[in-house]
Each structure stands twice: as structure tokens, then as C-alpha cells.
Amino acid sequence: VIQAVFFGICVLTDLSSLLTKGNDSQEQERQLKKLIALRDWMMAVLAFPVGVFVVTMFWSIYIYDRELVYPKLLDNFIPAWLNHGMHTTVLPFVLIEMRTTHHQYPSRSCGLAAVCTFAVGYILWVCWIHHVTGVWVYPLLEHLSPGVKIIFFAAVTVIINIFYLVGEVLNNYIWDTQK
């Protein structure tokens, strides 16, 4: 969903840019700048770190023991192409976006705070779903003791923050910018 919303905003930004080109309306220019800022923030804080995290974590665990993240039972309901759409294509598309469009990253402290907020919010959501349904969204969590779950959730938060920093460094390298 994050990727779909992000790339929808990218398309909207590009269309708005094309439609306002040559137009002297300061209001349209102001709205376009807001849209570009939203696009850049989403790339920095959500699309890149979450996208890279999903691909690396999903396929690492899948290779180890697919039943921990994507039980064979799901093959009856979710076709392979859709699985790859959710867990594979995210990475090349986000890298292509990073290479073709310069994104302005927020300050490091604001960016990391936003990534942490998202990670903690998502973890709380996963825990809430378990609380309400009695089922873990990710079967891996069924096999972890409460203490290990806390360590796992902390590690996940650290890893996604590392991916944020990797995205910032990669963006600066590609576009040869320094903060």
C-alpha cells in the first residue's frame, strides 16, 4: 500500500509539473512544491526504508523457512506474480525512482524520528491484530517468546533506521549532494 500511494503521488507530481509548466500562477507553484515535498518525504521515510526492509527480510526468512512468513497454503489464494509484486518488485522500482528523481531528504533527526514512529506504529498494529484475533500476522512471531519478541521488534526498528540512512547516503551519492 505504501508503494502504491507513493508511486501514485509520483505520477500526480509529474502530471502537475507538466500541466503547470509555463504557467505563472504562484498558487499552483506553491501547491506543486507541497506535492514535491510530500513525495520526497514519502520516499525518504517510507518508500525506500520500508521497501528495502520488506524485500530483504521477507526473502531472507522465506529462504530460511517459508512457513515463517508465507505458508504454502497461501499459494492457493495468492498467485506467484502477486507475491513477487508485494515482496520483490518493490526494490527495483524504488531504486529506479531514486536514480531518476532527486529527492530532498528531511533533516536526519526528523527523518529517523518519522521512521521510528512508523516502525513502532506498525509493530503496535501487528500486536493489536494478535490481541483481537489471537493470530499473529507473521507466523514467525508464534515461535518467539515474549522477551525474544521485544528484542526482535527492537532489532526491526534499528534495521529500518539503518535502511533510512542507506537511502540518504545512496541519494546523496547518486545526486552528488552533501548536507
Give residue 150's pLDDT: 97
Can you list the residues of the chain whose pLDDT is less than 50?
A: none
Task: Report how far residue 177's alpha carbon sits from residue 143's, in angstroms, rounded to the nearest whole number.
Answer: 44
Per-residue pLDDT, 25: 81
pLDDT at 29: 87
The cell for 60 is 531472507
Of 167, 174, 170, residue with least CA distance to 53: 167
Residue 49: the pLDDT is: 98
For the chain, what are the domain ranges? 1-177
Residue 178's pLDDT is what?
Answer: 56
Judge whether 58 and 87 are in contact, CB under 8 Å: yes
- Taking CB atoms within 8 Å and a gap of at least 24, the contacts of 118-127 are 118/45, 118/46, 118/50, 118/160, 119/156, 119/157, 119/160, 119/161, 120/157, 123/153, 123/156, 123/157
Write down the pTM of the prediction.
0.90
Q: What is the pLDDT of residue 26?
A: 85
Predicted confidence at residue 23, as pLDDT, reads 77
